Chains A and B, each alone.
Chain A
Amino acid sequence: MTRTLSAPVTVAFDYTRSTGPVIGRFLTGLRDGVVVAGRTSGGEVVVPPLEYDPDTHDQTSDFVEVASVGTVTSWTWVPEPVKDQPFDRPFAFALVTLDGATRPFFHALDVASPDEVSTGMRVQVRWAAERTGAITDIECFEPATDAGPTGVEALGDNPVTGVITPVSLDYLYAASPEESAFYRGLNEGRILGQRCPTCSKVYVPPRSACPADGTPTAEEVEVSQTGTITTFCIVNVPFLGQKIVPPYVSAYVLLDGADIAVLHLILGVPADEVRMGMRVKAVWKPREEWTYSLENIDHFEPTGDPDADYDTYRHHL
């Protein structure tokens, strides 16, 4: 059995980028069915064009169209494609020097087995059915035929000025052994922290090391389910992914026996009556809904006790 709790997690983000005059020109060409190269001061014809000349450092301004047919100069087999590669079955990646270019260009090559590819073979662009002004407007290369690449419809002016690249990464996300103990405790209805042997501070959730002195936090301590609001905010602004309808109160709750506050939801009191020093207690979800999560605690609500003295939490703000 592993020491730690883990769960799959996906981190996804759409990167939006402006393309500038050089890459924009190249991507506009792809959208319109032509491959645009840049000529360097040294006479190299480069695909995709370099934004700046490697010798003069001037911005590339000499563009030429090259053929969409060329020669493989190197290749590798991809036996186990990863997510979002051009094919979800085995294929080849290749460097292809297009006719008219002097430098090779990287893209996928659609062949069924490594026996069907060799250095020096002639290949041609297969255009994507729908083109948007991205490197994926070239679907892939394929072995050249006498007919050459299928012609594509020119789309005219309206240059490409930006691209949106979705990126999505999958992880098996693991908690540290100390955090794992915390989540296992929550699944038993307990709130666990750990005490630093050097400075005696109690961290909830426990950390792998005391951030103040670097000592591993070893000793497990169960903290109270009652605590003090040290600071709070009233959330009035809706945002993407929000689970609760605003307005609501998000507060730091310093549980009795802990030296660090936990962030949680405050209910059972009008938002405008929440205050620093207010005493609150954990309200758990029904037992059958518990999992390894701080969400087992549905919210905190006032105990009705008198407010805590400022001095009892002033060092924990």
Chain B
Amino acid sequence: MRDVAIVGFAQRQMEEFDGSPTCVELLVPLFAECYEQTGWNRHDIGFWCSGSSDYLAGRSFSFVSAVDAIGVIPPVNESHVEMDAAWALYEAWLKIQTGEVDTALVYGFGKSSAGVLRRTLALQLDPYTMTPLWPDTVSLAGLQARAGIDAGTWDERAMAEVVNRSLTDAEKNEYAIRKGGSSVDELLARPMYADPLRKHDCAPVTDGAAAIVLAAGDRARSVSDRPAWISGIAHNVDPISMGNRELTRSPSTAAAAAGLDLTGVEVAELHAPFSHQELILRSELGLADDVAINPSGGALAGNPMFTGGLIRFGEAAKQVWSGNADKVLAHATSGPALQQNLVTTLEGRS
């Protein structure tokens, strides 16, 4: 295995991006920030990989237009995943492991506000028995939340505690689009929306983009005093059908974590677009009570589609870069109700 680290990260999150669904104009300054952080230019990047969705953009091959933001003369080595860009990071990590390249820039983008997000995402479901009913994302999460409440695995208060902590932490995050803690009682007094979910239990519809730079060995050391080394990375998937998995659990998260050494994790950035999902993830990962969860505010403070998971990796890496933590965990999810999960440990080395 080659040593690979995160050495650059830039992001934007907003309620409504006033620009095109290809997000080219949004990506150009993000790439510029990555070049500034590393001292590199586009010719130093060995591999480019993005995560986005044509359904979100409302046009075919939308990722091809976004390549304008790179500049392709001379031609570049480029790929794309139709899911959260955290999986583009996984592909880039694999590409570096092959030895073919030493560096990669991973990016995700999406203008969720162009359509009705929770409806658009019904198209990622089984096309025969699910999509024709247009199960929206919030409803599927509601079924999951109810299952846990009925089973006594969590309750509304535990969900509100997650929200209150997230929105309080988000006050320090300049990119958060929803922020401001209050109290658990105040949150519980707010009206029910998609019973058993209140609006604050659901990540806000968010437009945005993010970019992360990966580098191997000495290339990483040459641009950073304290790179965030990827010490473990694994992903697994659960059945897509809601009836064929234990909704109060996330076996795929547990399976991914089983291949990693999570001892000593100090901070975890968990991609949980609904409050109860953080409780599931925390339990499946077996995180100790003193592990700081989502100091960024997490997805409840802003969840740009196809980027929200990648941002968790960037936020986790920042904890290592700053010296705040020596070992952190980054998690990303994709698909309905925590169907697919990617877990990574990042470490600083002195």
A residues near B (Cβ < 8 Å) are: 2-4, 9, 11, 15, 17, 19, 23, 26-27, 46-48, 50, 54, 73-79, 82-86, 93-95, 103-108, 114, 119, 134-136, 163, 165, 167, 169-179, 207-216
Contacts and interface: CB of A to CB of B under 8 A. Distances in A.
B65 to A, nearest CB: 9
B31 A176 contact: no
A148 to B, nearest CB: 22
A186 to B, nearest CB: 17
A146 B217 CA distance: 71
B24 A208 contact: yes
A282 B150 CA distance: 69
A-B pairs with the 8 shortest C-beta distances? Answer: A76-B142, A214-B71, A208-B24, A77-B195, A176-B20, A82-B119, A208-B25, A171-B58
A78 B194 contact: yes
A112 to B, nearest CB: 13
B275 to A, nearest CB: 14
A91 B239 CA distance: 26
Contact of B128 (A11, A17, A179): A17
B224 to A, nearest CB: 23
B143 A135 contact: no
Contact of A74 (B18, B67, B69, B146): B146
A287 B243 CA distance: 60
Contacts of A79: 193-195
Contacts of B295: none
B244 A46 contact: yes
Interface in B111-130: 111, 113-116, 118-120, 123, 127-130
Q: Chain B CB within 10 Å — which of A48, A76, A135, A213 has the most?
A: A76
A75 B136 contact: no
B73 interface: yes
B133 A108 contact: yes
Interface of B: 18-22, 24-25, 28, 31, 42, 55, 58-59, 67-73, 111, 113-116, 118-120, 123, 127-136, 138-147, 150, 192-197, 239, 241-244, 247
B25 A76 contact: no
27 contacts: A76-B145, A76-B197, A78-B136, A78-B139, A79-B193, A79-B195, A82-B119, A83-B116, A95-B143, A95-B242, A106-B135, A107-B133, A108-B133, A135-B133, A169-B120, A170-B115, A174-B19, A174-B20, A174-B114, A178-B25, A208-B20, A208-B69, A209-B25, A211-B68, A211-B71, A212-B72, A216-B28
B132 A135 contact: yes
Contact of A119 (B70, B123, B134, B150): B150
A294 B132 CA distance: 37
Nearest to A140: B133
A165 B150 contact: no
Given A106-B133, A135-B132, A169-B120, A176 B25 contact: yes
Interface class of chain A by DSSP: mixed
Nearest to A27: B128
Given A23-B129, A73-B147, A135-B128, A85 B70 contact: no
Given A46-B244, A103-B244, A174-B19, A82 B118 contact: yes
A77 B136 CA distance: 11
Contacts of A135: 128-130, 132-133
Q: Chain A CB within 10 Å — which of B67, B73, B143 has the most?
A: B143
Nearest to B247: A74
Contacts of A169: 55, 58, 115, 119-120
Nearest to B196: A76
B116 A82 contact: yes
Contacts of B150: 74, 119
A50 B129 CA distance: 11
Contacts of B55: 169
Contacts of A95: 143, 147, 242-243
Contacts of B141: 76
Nearest to B115: A171
B136 A85 contact: yes
Contacts of A103: 243-244
Nearest to A136: B132
A171 B114 contact: yes
Nearest to B71: A214
Contacts of B18: 2-4, 174
Given A75-B146, A169-B55, A173-B21, A212 B128 contact: no
Nearest to A106: B242
Contacts of B22: 176, 208
A169 to B, nearest CB: 6
Q: Chain B CB within 10 Å — which of A77, A208, A213 has the most?
A: A208
